[in-house]
Amino acid sequence: MKPIPILLTLTTALVGGPAWAADAAHGKQLHEKTCVGCHRNMTGGDGSVLYTRSQRRVHNLAQLESQVRRCETNLNLKWFDDDILDVVEYLNQQYYKFPKKK
Ligand code: HEC
C-alpha cells in the first residue's frame, strides 16, 4: 500500500478540472460485473449495505479510492487507473456522496 501516490492521483483527478472525466456509467458496469457478487454473498441482498452500513470503512473520497484499489488488487484484476476512478465515481454518486473539491 502506497498512500501518497494514491492521494496525489486522487488530488490531481479532483483538482485537475477537465482531466477529471470519470465515467460513472462505465464504473457501474465494471462494478456489477466484477464486484457485486462477492459483496452480495457477504451481506445478502444486493450487497450495497456494505457501502451504507454505519460501521463502514470508508469515510472520504481518498479512502474510497484506496478501498476500491484494495479489492481490485486482491482480485488481481490489473485494471487501468481510469477503470478504478470510474468505479470510485459510480460508488460515490450512488452511495457515498462525498463532496468533491472544486
Ligand atoms: C472476493 C470478495 C470481494 C470482491 C470480489 C470485491 N470485494 Fe470489496 N470488499 C470485500 C470485503 C471482504 C470487504 C470488507 C472489508 C472489511 O470490512 O474489512 C469489502 C469492502 C469493500 C468496500 C468498502 C465498503 C465500506 O465499508 O465502506 C468497497 C468500496 C469495496 N469493497 C469495493 C470493491 C470493488 C470496487 C470491487 C470490484 C473491483 C470489490 N470490492 C470486489 C470483498 C470483495
* Residue 67, ligand 1, Cβ within 6 A: yes
**Of 53, 51, 47, 54, residue with least CA distance to 68:** 51
Residue holding cell 457515498?
A: 96
| In the predicted structure, residue 18 carries a pLDDT above the cut 50 | no
Cα 58 to chain center, whole Å? 10
pLDDT at 102 over 80: no
Check whether 101 has a pLDDT greater than 70: no
Of 31, 35, 51, best ligand 1 pocket probe by most atoms within 8 Å of the beta carbon: 35
CA–centroid distance, 23 to ligand 1, in Å, is 20
Of the candidates 26, 31, 28, the one whose C-alpha atom is nearest the C-alpha of residue 82 is 26
pLDDT at position 55 is 93
Q: Answer for the pair 17, 89: CB distance below 8 angstroms, yes or no.
A: no
All cell numbers assigned to 65: 479510492
Instruction: Give the residue whose CA is nearest to atom 14 of ligand 1.
Output: 50
pLDDT in tens, 37-94: 999 999 999 999 999 999 999 999 999 999 999 999 999 999 999 999 999 999 999 9
Confidence of residue 5 (pLDDT cuts 50, 70, 90): low
